């Protein structure tokens, strides 16, 4: 069931004083009490920008109540593993806080109480062969993770972030900054227990001629609210976003991505695959912005969704904002049920309908799964298979 905290009355424009006193144990060398206080005030003041899209949507994201959260800076854990000794772990990169991630409603909340950090820097020119794995774990209570990754000029690396645990409230920030000519693949896998709530803000700044892949899979939590923001500031940059999610039961997923082409000659491609089963609800809002000076930009967005139950619902809202006249830009979206003719063909070949539906559903996700690091693919298939039953 949806938590009672999600049905609270809308918040006042000014916050009560009590939540601010709870910031005191969280002040540290990364974010001062003053900065955290300002961030928490933004959380209360700034609207989510995610109004209810229709009668199917049961969650008011502007009424998230944090009063009852167990706020403990010692809660949860973070572990960073790398087989390459040249990778710098635990040292705050120079680019920490460079993005606008903390300006959004839930990004501000994540910064206000940030207390578990994963700092990773890949020095210029090195090629890290094995994936760097960041794992956040949380039990009951709240976790506010902050990941900052800097892939310096000409470096190559694959980074995987996992968020796992039970009965949790998690609000996190991820910043990925890549230098000129670098190649980076950042994968984020969220597999919290189904009674958790997860709010994540991912911001990326790829450099000139850099190649960046951002891969997200949200396969847990009662409520998932995701934000992906990519700002293309360097000519020749190439940003690829691949996201998948699969709400089932009474789960909600609300994902929004924005790719901002601010200079010319950059490329972006956004691919989203989703499905919903039972009473699962989802929404994807994708936006591509091309600035007036960003001539020769090349951008595309594709969102495809499957509905596996008459009570499931997914909204798809792709959009283009183009202010330049010499660009390539495309968006498209589909929301529909399984292909009846394909299911009929499979059943005539001796495959029972339930098995056929599961096979088609998993095949639908396969193009997205193939983009993830090899060691994650089988886990993704297994977790998706559970939801497809």
Residue pLDDT, tens place only, 82-119 = 999 999 999 999 999 999 999 999 999 999 999 999 99
Please state the rounded mean pLDDT for residues 274-303: 95
pLDDT at 345 over 60: no
Q: Is 342 a residue whose pLDDT tops 90?
A: no
* Distance of alpha carbon 139 from alpha carbon 92, whole angstroms: 26
* CA dist., res. 344 & res. 356, Å (int): 9
Q: Which of the two residues, 18 and 329, has the higher pLDDT score? A: 329
Q: Give the pLDDT mean for 153-165.
A: 97
Give mean pLDDT, residues 111-136.
98
Mean pLDDT of 223-228: 97
Average pLDDT, the chain: 90
Closest CA to 177 of 136, 129, 127, 237: 237
Q: What integer is the mean pLDDT of 328-333?
A: 91
How many Å apart are CA 270 and CA 242, to the nearest integer? 6
Token look-up 């699962």 returns 280
Task: Identify the pLDDT of residue 118.
Answer: 98
Helix (H) or strand (E) holding 340: helix 340-348
Q: Where does the pLDDT of residue 358 fall: very low under 50, low under 70, confident under 90, or very high at 90 and above?
A: confident
Question: Does position 228 have pLDDT exceeding 80, yes or no?
Answer: yes
User: What whole-number percentage of the chain has pLDDT above 70?
Assistant: 90
The predicted structure's pLDDT at residue 335: 84
| Predicted confidence (pLDDT) at residue 2 exceeds the cutoff of 80 | no
Output 8 or 86, whichever has higher pLDDT: 86
pTM reported for the whole predicted model: 0.92
User: Average pLDDT for residues 130-142, to the nearest whole number?
Assistant: 95
Q: Is the pLDDT assigned to residue 375 strictly greater than 60?
A: yes
pLDDT tens figures, 28-61: 999 999 999 999 999 999 999 887 666 667 788 8
Q: What is the pLDDT of residue 337?
A: 74
Ordered DSSP codes for 242-284: EEEE---TT-EEEEEEEEEE-STT-EEEEEEEEEE-TT-EEEE
Q: Sorting pLDDT into bands at 50, 70 and 90, what band is 17?
A: low
Q: In this model, does residue 166 exceed pLDDT 90?
A: no
> What are the Cα distances from residue 84, in Å, to 94, 117, 120, 182, 376?
21, 20, 12, 17, 20
pLDDT at residue 303 tops 50: yes
pLDDT of residue 12 exceeding 50: no
- pLDDT band of residue 80 (cuts 50, 70, 90) is very high
Return the pLDDT at 3.
36
């Amino acid at each position: 069931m949806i938590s009672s905290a999600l049905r609270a009355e809308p918040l006042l424009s000014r916050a009560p004083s009590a939540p601010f006193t709870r910031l005191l144990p969280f002040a540290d060398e990364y974010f001062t009490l003053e900065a955290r206080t300002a961030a928490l005030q933004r959380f209360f003041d700034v609207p989510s920008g995610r109004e209810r899209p229709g009668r199917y949507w049961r969650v008011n994201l502007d009424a998230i109540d944090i009063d009852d959260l167990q706020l403990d800076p010692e809660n949860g854990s973070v572990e960073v593993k790398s087989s390459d000794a040249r990778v710098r772990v635990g040292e705050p990169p120079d680019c920490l806080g460079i993005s606008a991630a903390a300006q959004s409603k839930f990004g501000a909340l994540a910064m206000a109480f940030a207390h578990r950090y994963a700092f990773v820097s890949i020095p210029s020119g090195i090629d890290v062969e094995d994936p760097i794995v960041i794992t956040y774990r949380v039990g009951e209570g709240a976790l506010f993770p902050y990941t900052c990754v800097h892939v310096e000029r000409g470096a190559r690396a694959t980074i995987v972030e996992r968020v796992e645990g039970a009965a949790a409230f998690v609000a996190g920030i991820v910043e990925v900054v890549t230098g000129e000519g670098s190649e980076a693949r950042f994968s984020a896998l969220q597999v919290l227990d189904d009674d958790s709530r997860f709010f994540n803000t991912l911001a990326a700044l790829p450099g000139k001629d850099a190649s960046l892949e951002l891969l997200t899979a949200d396969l847990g939590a009662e409520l998932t609210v995701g934000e992906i923001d990519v700002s293309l500031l360097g000519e020749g940059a190439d940003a690829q976003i691949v996201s998948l999610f699969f709400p089932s039961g009474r789960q909600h997923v609300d994902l929004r991505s924005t790719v901002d082409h601010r200079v010319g000659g950059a490329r972006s491609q956004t691919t989203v695959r989703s499905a919903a089963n039972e009473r699962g609800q989802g929404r994807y809002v994708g936006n591509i912005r091309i600035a007036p000076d960003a001539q020769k930009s090349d951008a595309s967005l594709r969102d495809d969704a499957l509905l596996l139950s008459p009570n499931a619902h997914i909204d798809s809202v792709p959009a283009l904002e183009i202010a330049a006249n010499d660009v390539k830009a495309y968006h498209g979206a589909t929301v529909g049920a399984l292909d009846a003719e394909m299911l009929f063909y499979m059943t005539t070949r001796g495959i029972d309908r339930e098995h056929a539906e599961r096979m088609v559903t998993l095949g639908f996700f396969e193009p997205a799964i193939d983009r993830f690091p090899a060691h994650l693919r089988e886990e993704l298939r297994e977790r998706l298979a559970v939801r497809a039953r």
